[in-house]
Amino acid sequence: MNHLADLVAALPAGRVLTDPDVAGAYARDQTFLPPGTPLCAVVAESRDDVVTTLRWATEHRVPVVPRGAGTGLAGGATAVEGCVMLSMIRMTAVRELSPADEIAVVEPGVITADLDRAARAHGLMYAPDPSSYEISTIGGNLATNAGGLRCVKYGVTRDSVLGLEVVLPDGRVLATGRRTMKGVTGYDLTGLFVGSEGTLGVITAATLRLRRAPETPPATFAAEFPSLRAAGDAVAAIIAAGCRPSLLELMDRNTLKAIDDWKNIGLEPGVRAMLIGQSDDGVPGAAERMAALCEENGATFVAATSSPDEAEELIGVRRLAYQAKERLGTCLVEDVCVPRSALPVMISEIEAAAERHGALISTVAHAGDGNLHPVFIFERGLAEPPPHVWAAADDVFRAALRLGGTLTGEHGVGVLKRRWLDLERGEVSGDVQRGIKNVFDPLGIMNPGKAI
């Protein structure tokens, strides 16, 4: 296209990648979904690069798909035909880190774990920690409102965002929010952009809330159970007792076996589920109290530790879950969320769906906030999940909604969950969301076909 030469000329050398193989490397995320063929990829290094790209895209009516590290699990960062893949991976500046105000101002390409490490040098921490925290970017976390292992206590990404710098589709720069902990001037545009999956504009900087890091290492426990339902009952008991875990993670037998086959963690035959929890409050006996509740709900083995090395080893097992499942086949990774009191019932619904449809489902959960990740594993090489897998997924989604839950707790809708979207949001909500999209993106060029 002749107008592509205008974009190449308008940006610094090397920003626009037009070779089909090179641009294609930016075209997909972690899903099995086949991407469209992008017109090109733009690797932005500054806000001005983003402004120039979006002005050009608006002028020529070219769709734009923003992306970070490509770790998404819902198809939100997959290319649409003829689009510009706008990569933010080189925008890695920590513009400011203020210990006095407990905030950081960062660009979207900053790796999540790197921000946390920078904060800890000042006795602070960045709370959100998705399982991909060592490779995922802040921009991607913002786009999907990512959660993570610590979200049971500290909340999801939105709870740590104070303000944003956003480039709108026409190239205008919008500042939302503030640097203060409180503020109610006008509509909450910051909250609107967090979780919008790149459909309204491109985030080029974020003002993020930092928190005081725990002064002592967290106390950690692990409990083994003879059934997944028993583990779910233990989670419900821990929450009902008023415990304040900073982490509460659940893994089923299929997940544990996949990890054991890969890493030889010494899984015993009778273990059907494992619960890993932490308390970082520094309250003596907090982990032991949660461990005792596990025993009361059928745990066959419980161990508690204050050793950072032992704790890291246990949590490291949890972080291996997704990679271990990928070794077994292609994964359809879902993330339903239900009220915490409904967690045991939702666990039973997932097990029933697997049995009913003959599907292999491997489940982990951010159990403390009712967020479950049932992973549907199917034969590698297939273009998409076979019918029995889709049927099992349909049962799981409908069960979550029936229990008062949601289709997605932290991965976003992307492409994969669009077929169920109207079951949750309803006609009026759909109309309002499409109206909001039209206000910000009247030409419909921002990540078209995703999220809403």
Q: Give the per-residue pLDDT at 148.
A: 87
Q: Give the per-residue pLDDT at 283.
A: 85
Looking at the domain assignment, is residue 5 inside a domain? Answer: no
Q: Give the per-residue pLDDT at 131.
A: 85
Structural contact between residues 73 and 375, judged by C-beta atoms closer than 8 angstroms: no
Q: Regarding beta strands 94-98 and 173-177, do their DSSP bridges make them parallel or antiparallel, or are they unpaired?
A: unpaired
Q: Which two tokens stand for residue 45?
A: 């290094």
Cβ neighbours of 270 (radius 10 Å): 11
pLDDT tens for 338-356 read 998 899 999 999 999 999 9
pLDDT tens for 170-181 read 999 999 999 998
Q: Give the per-residue pLDDT at 290.
A: 94
> Is pLDDT above 70 for 1?
no
Within 361-420, residue ranges assigned H as helices are 387-402
Can you tell me the distance from the alpha carbon of 23 to that of 25, in angstroms, rounded to the nearest whole number? Answer: 5
Which residue segment(s) compose the domain that 170 sits in?
Answer: 94-212
For residue 420, give the DSSP letter. G
Q: Give the per-residue pLDDT at 383.
A: 85
Chain centroid to CA 83: 24
Can you tell me the distance from the alpha carbon of 416 to that of 400, in angstroms, rounded to the nearest whole number? Answer: 16
Looking at the domain assignment, is residue 41 inside a domain? Answer: no
Same structural domain for residues 402 and 343? yes
Tell me how many domains the chain contains.
3
Q: Nearest-CA neighbor of 279 among 253, 306, 298, 255?
A: 306
As a whole number, mean pLDDT of residues 121-133 equals 94
DSSP track, 245-273: -SEEEEEEHHHHHHHHHHH-----TT--E
Q: Give me the count of residues in the chain.
A: 452
| Average of per-residue pLDDT values in the chain | 95
Structural contact between residues 112 and 128, judged by C-beta atoms closer than 8 angstroms: yes
Structural contact between residues 78 and 31, judged by C-beta atoms closer than 8 angstroms: yes
> Is pLDDT above 90 for 191?
yes
Three-point CA angle 22, 77, 402, nearest 5°: 155
Q: Give the per-residue pLDDT at 282.
A: 85
Same structural domain for residues 255 and 300? yes
Same structural domain for residues 200 and 107? yes
Furthest-apart CA atoms within the chain: distance in Å = 71
User: 0.95 cut: is pTM over it?
Assistant: no
Q: The tokens 């996949």 sit on which residue?
A: 258
Same structural domain for residues 113 and 192? yes
Burial of 47 (0-12, 13-18, 19+ CB in 10 A): middle
Q: Which two tokens stand for residue 399?
A: 């069960």
> Is pLDDT above 80 for 65?
yes
pLDDT tens for 388-422 read 999 999 999 999 999 999 999 899 999 999 989 99
CATH number of the domain at 360, please.
3.30.70.2740
As a whole number, mean pLDDT of residues 426-439 equals 95
HSE-CB of 318 using CA atoms within 13 angstroms? 29
Q: Which two tokens stand for residue 34?
A: 């086949």
Chain centroid to CA 281: 25
Q: Give the per-residue pLDDT at 163.
A: 98
Structural contact between residues 415 and 449, judged by C-beta atoms closer than 8 angstroms: yes
Q: Nearest-CA neighbor of 24 among 35, 32, 14?
A: 35
Q: Give the per-residue pLDDT at 284.
A: 86
Chain centroid to CA 56: 30
pLDDT tens for 138-158 read 999 999 999 889 999 999 999
> Is pLDDT above 70 for 2?
no
pLDDT tens for 295-335 read 999 999 999 988 999 988 988 899 899 999 999 999 999 99
Q: Which two tokens stand for residue 21?
A: 């193989």
pLDDT tens for 7-30 read 999 999 999 999 999 999 999 999
Same structural domain for residues 281 and 367? no
Burial of 427 (0-12, 13-18, 19+ CB in 10 A): exposed
Angstrom distances, CA of residue 436 to CA of 177, 178, 444: 18, 22, 11
Looking at the domain assignment, is residue 368 inside a domain? Answer: yes
For residue 44, give the DSSP letter. -
Same structural domain for residues 173 and 243? no
Same structural domain for residues 344 and 261? no
Q: Residue type at 244? A: R
The pLDDT > 90 percentage for the chain reads 88
Q: Give the per-residue pLDDT at 98.
A: 98
CATH number of the domain at 169, please.
3.30.465.10
Cβ neighbours of 172 (radius 10 Å): 12
CATH number of the domain at 312, please.
3.30.70.3450
Same structural domain for residues 231 and 248? yes
Q: What is the end-to-end Cα distance of the chain in Å, rounded?
A: 30
Can you tell me the distance from the alpha carbon of 89 to that of 94, in angstroms, rounded to the nearest whole number? Answer: 13
Same structural domain for residues 254 and 333? no
Same structural domain for residues 311 and 341? no
Q: Which two tokens stand for residue 291?
A: 């461990």
Q: Strands, E, within 88-182: which ranges?
A: 94-98, 103-106, 124-125, 161-167, 173-177
Same structural domain for residues 195 and 251? no
Angstrom distances, CA of residue 296 to CA of 230, 236, 238, 314, 336: 10, 12, 11, 22, 27
Looking at the domain assignment, is residue 235 inside a domain? Answer: yes
Q: Regarding beta strands 247-252 and 360-366, do their DSSP bridges make them parallel or antiparallel, or are they unpaired?
A: antiparallel
